[in-house]
């Protein structure tokens, strides 16, 4: 099989399938159809943090590194809200997501990488 027939975004496909499976798994737990245990139900956002860290360390371009940091930020936000750290909940902490999106947009704007890059070069 040559490079032209290999999916370009295999990593995204795998991450998407993993997130889909995990989401279904946790939904079944929420409906009490299965029981996954308290440690897993509290610390599942660390999976998203780990995916983000993997993207950061495997990044070949600044835009890939930026996306990895976005995954880490989102995973840490989820962890803080699930554990109610600092008294934060989903309801009280959603503005942190706006701040994160803003940081990401600024980082993208000041990045030295040319806009519109579609493939790895």
Indicate whether 24 and 79 sit together in one domain: no
Work out the pLDDT band at 5, boundaries 50, 70, 90: low
**How many Cα atoms within 13 Å fall on the side-chain side of residue 61?**
14
CB atoms closer than 10 angstroms to residue 93: 17
Task: Tell me how far CA of residue 20 lies from CA of 25, 64, 82, in angstroms.
Answer: 9, 22, 19
The answer to whether residue 117 sits within a structural domain is: no
**Contact call for residues 69 and 52 (beta carbons, < 8 A):** yes
Backbone phi and psi for residue 85, each to the nearest 5 degrees, phi listed first: -70, 145
Indicate whether 74 and 107 sit together in one domain: yes
Q: Is the pLDDT of residue 72 over 90?
A: yes
Domain count, the chain: 2
Indicate whether 20 and 78 sit together in one domain: no
Mean pLDDT of the chain: 81
pLDDT tens digits for range 15-29: 788 878 878 888 888
6: tokens are 């290999």
Residues making up the chain, counted from first to last: 121
Instruction: Measure CA 56 to chain center.
Output: 11
Q: Stretch 53-70: mean pLDDT, rounded?
A: 87
> Range of 52's domain?
44-112
Indicate whether 58 and 28 sit together in one domain: no
Indicate whether 57 and 105 sit together in one domain: yes
Indicate whether 68 and 101 sit together in one domain: yes
Indicate whether 69 and 101 sit together in one domain: yes
Q: Stretch 59-85: mean pLDDT, rounded?
A: 89
Indicate whether 108 and 51 sit together in one domain: yes
Indicate whether 79 and 28 sit together in one domain: no
Q: Stretch 48-71: mean pLDDT, rounded?
A: 88
């Amino acid at each position: 099989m040559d490079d032209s027939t290999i999916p370009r975004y295999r990593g995204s496909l795998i991450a998407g399938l993993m997130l889909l499976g995990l989401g279904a798994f946790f939904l079944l737990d929420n409906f009490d159809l299965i029981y996954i245990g308290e440690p897993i139900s509290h610390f599942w956002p660390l999976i998203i943090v780990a995916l983000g860290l993997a993207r950061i360390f495997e990044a070949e371009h600044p835009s890939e590194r930026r996306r990895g940091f976005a995954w880490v930020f989102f995973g840490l936000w989820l962890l803080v809200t699930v554990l109610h750290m600092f008294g934060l909940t989903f309801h009280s902490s959603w503005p942190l997501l706006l701040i994160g999106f803003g940081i990401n947009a600024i980082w993208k704007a000041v990045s030295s990488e040319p806009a519109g890059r579609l493939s790895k070069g």
